[in-house]
Amino acid sequence: MTDVQVTVMTHDRSASLARLLESLDRQCDRERVDITILDNGSAEPHATEVRQTAARHGATVLRSERNLFVAGKRVLEDDVFARTRPDVLVRLDDDVILEDGWLEAVLAVLDTGVAACGSVENHDGDLAISGQRTFEFTNEIINGKAVKIWDWRWHEPDRTAVSEQVELAGQRALAVDGRAAFHVRHDPAFLIGGEDADYSLRLRHAGHEIRIARSAMIRHRTLGERDVAGYRVAENVIPSWRHFYRRWGFIRRSAADEAGMPLEAFVAAVVGTRR
């Protein structure tokens, strides 16, 4: 029997969290699945509703009085592994819904010896990998300096395959073998931006395979959820991508838009300029 630990970080999205956990309950044996929720600085009445939702689903609740941003993922990991060593760690964002069969699909892929298995989702009416089949780069001269730029593309999944290998699996809904998850944890230096790519790259550099399950379907932001105010701002995005660039040597082009900056200014802040 596989023991599964589900982790969810939530901030002011109590209604979304409730829908997510309902979608999980419909497809799992609760004797096999434990849930840990980090209430990441939610204000009232969300904080109370998170506690009530957790109680209905038999989930453990951790509470941070302030928003830790995505660094809270490391808090969740460290808490889980201090208490237990699950066979599988599942990371879920609070603004997704799991289609029926999601858990069965990702566990079947992990059973083949794969370290991590992600999802597919509807993107503007088209089926897309929640991640990247491959990283697509261009080399550009910006501010007098050669910079390697990653251009995000939405990739259609292989409809003939049960699963396919990818370079990046997003953490909106991701299942990871417990042994791999114990050794490769979220880097708390990230506030927002680059953390999913960093995690997948570190898994791969540790020799692990990442796949997407064709039938592991999710729906994203069906309640019209928006980014939390003060979340995806330059003060968080720039240091995250600076950290990412120093480790991997490239940045994502659209991160400049997330920081609310022209690409040239963003590159100068993250990479620097030619001296």
> How confident is the model over 146-194, as pLDDT tens digits?
999 999 999 999 989 999 999 999 999 999 999 999 999 999 999 999 9
Q: pLDDT grade, residue 1 (50/70/90)?
A: very low
Write down the pLDDT at residue 231: 84
What whole-number distance in Å separates Cα of residue 120 and Cα of residue 216?
A: 6
Q: Residue 174: in which H helix or E strand, if any?
A: strand 173-177
Write down the pLDDT at residue 65: 96
Q: What is the DSSP string of 116-159?
A: EEEEEEEETTEEEESEESS--EEEEEETTEEEEEE---PPPP-T
- Confirm if 216 and 117 have CB atoms less than 8 A apart: yes
Beta strands 88-93 and 126-129, pairing class? unpaired
Predicted confidence (pLDDT) per residue in 94-130, tens digit: 999 999 999 999 999 999 999 999 999 998 889 999 9
Write down the pLDDT at residue 274: 63
What whole-number distance in Å separates Cα of residue 120 and Cα of residue 156?
A: 9
Please check the confidence at residue 275 and state whether its pLDDT lies above 70. Answer: no
What whole-number distance in Å separates Cα of residue 238 and Cα of residue 214?
A: 34
Global confidence as pTM: 0.94
> Residue 224, by phi and psi: left (phi above 0), alpha (psi -120 to 50) or beta?
left
Hey, what are 149's tokens?
A: 């730029």
Hey, what are 271's tokens?
A: 């990479």
- CATH fold, domain 4-132+159-222, is Spore Coat Polysaccharide Biosynthesis Protein SpsA; Chain A (3.90.550)
Higher-pLDDT residue of 198, 126: 198
What whole-number distance in Å separates Cα of residue 49 and Cα of residue 261?
A: 36
Q: Which amino acid is at 265?
A: A
What whole-number distance in Å separates Cα of residue 106 and Cα of residue 88?
A: 10
- Confirm if 33 and 40 have CB atoms less than 8 A apart: no
Write down the pLDDT at residue 179: 97
Please check the confidence at residue 254 and state whether its pLDDT lies above 60. Answer: yes
The half-sphere exposure of 66 on its side-chain side, counting CA atoms within 13 A, is 3
Hey, what are 53's tokens?
A: 């939702």
What whole-number distance in Å separates Cα of residue 183 and Cα of residue 19?
A: 31
Mean pLDDT for 132-157 is 95
Helix (H, G, I), strand (E, B) or coil at 10: strand
